[in-house]
Structure 1
């Protein structure tokens, strides 16, 4: 009877050991936490292959080393510097820096693993929902207050905004042991805002055309004034004799001279 009990205990212990082992999946970094992580980062280490997790306070985190993609489920409302509201639906992709896998787990072990049907690891999904996306929202909200609506809607304006924001998010991800691969803010403006900006752009265009016309007319006036001054200067240098000589050179000797004849004949005599 005792042998039977011993056998059952050993069998139960063996089953417990087998069921308390996990295998690190390919292209994942296994990070094992021991002793509930009470000693800080010392209780975390990178593991591979089959890992025993039967001891109390032991947990295996499997960190994917391949590209991860995230997108805000709902648009976020932002305000520009001129207090105009607009929406954004940020989308991004990233991956864990392999050498930073322990840091990623240690810094975020407190978040609850999410139940996900998308196939994404629960730890990574929770990381996005609880850490990354709230931080992205704070950054994009802060940056949007530095730009006016018309500059955001101008040609290339939203692209410049996204590029600037991408650099900010990239630094934030790097601090968290992540490499940002792509980022897009996907700005959306309401119809009323678009119509308001279009109307303002039309007015600005008309003003620009008028300014150009005024500038051109001013140049024409200056040119006419220069021509007048040049004619005066030229006329002051001409004597009556020079004028009549020029007249004689061009007169064919046959064309009637009419009113100018007496004066002309008086000089030629």
Structure 2
């Protein structure tokens, strides 16, 4: 065998070794759990699922490796409608924050046979719709509005129970509930009426305060006039006249007489 053939053979062998290296191992990134699934066997992979970490070697013909993130994920689902107990239609636009509980990835895959993205968009979304449907069927429109906090707490507790049982951990959930148009218009009209009533009440208080001020001023003025009238006796009038007279005899009329003539 000449050197040229040896180089070709070694090259082919090297190529296949590189190909095997690239296709027969993978690395599980931090924040993820890996599960090794055997595609063949007595249970056809249903039971042959094991938890793996770090770099994993596997046979690509008979095995698969799936990664499940165990960090918190936030999903903003598309809105849907739900009927209340009295038939009113509410719109729900939920947002869910959750994570896979550590060590639960094999159980989740064994049950659903799907990746986390598909489970999130299908299974978890169905759980959310059911949780809201169950709680809405317990409330009338008025009771939902007056007990909004209690209603949302009940939905969240329902979701927390379901997710925990399925191997997930609920971090936070918001409902994004939108009331029917008729309810929204009614609430807006009520708020406007309350605001207008408060405005009228404030204006009335201002008017009453101004009226009281005018009454006090008038009473004070009347009191002052009474006091002035009481103080204007004949002697005081003569004294004021003397203080203001310039000593000249008037051209017309009689000069003022301060003393009576004595015979």
Structure 1 length normalisation: TM-score?
A: 0.63
Q: What SS does structure 2 have at the residue aligned with 1:98?
A: coil
**2:154 is the alignment partner of 1:169:** no
Mapped to 2, the partners of 1:199 and 1:39 lie a distance apart of 64
| 1:13-70 alpha-carbon deviations (Å, 9 max, x no partner) | 2112211121010121111112257444541111122112443132111111111111
CA contact (8 A) 2:75 2:97 kept: yes
Long gaps (5+) in structure 2: 192-263
Aligned to 1:11: 14
Match among 63, 67, 79 for residue 62 of structure 1: 67
> Which structure 2 residues correspond to residues 171-186 of structure 1 after superposition, within 5 A?
171-186=161-176
| 1:105-151 alpha-carbon deviations (Å, 9 max, x no partner) | 22222x4xxxxxxxxxxx32211111100221122112211110001
Mapped to 2, the partners of 1:158 and 1:126 lie a distance apart of 31
Mapped to 1, the partners of 2:106 and 2:75 lie a distance apart of 22
Moved over 6 A (4+): 197-201
Aligned to 2:107: 103
Instruction: State the aligned residue count.
Output: 187
Q: What SS does structure 2 have at the residue aligned with 1:99?
A: coil
**2:137 is the alignment partner of 1:137:** no
Cα distance change of structure 1 residues 57 and 193 upon mapping to structure 2, 3 Å threshold: farther
CA RMSD of the aligned region, Å?
2.5
CA contact (8 A) 1:29 1:48 kept: yes
Q: Per residue, is there more helix in 1 or in 2?
A: 1
**1:198: how far off?**
7.3
Long gaps (5+) in structure 1: 112-122, 202-269
Aligned to 1:193: 183
Aligned to 2:235: none
**2:82 is the alignment partner of 1:78:** yes
Give the greater-gyration-radius structure (CA). Answer: 2
CA contact (8 A) 1:28 1:65 kept: yes
Q: What SS does structure 1 have at the residue aligned with 2:104?
A: helix
CA contact (8 A) 1:150 1:197 kept: no
Mapped to 2, the partners of 1:82 and 1:50 lie a distance apart of 57
Mapped to 1, the partners of 2:166 and 2:97 lie a distance apart of 14
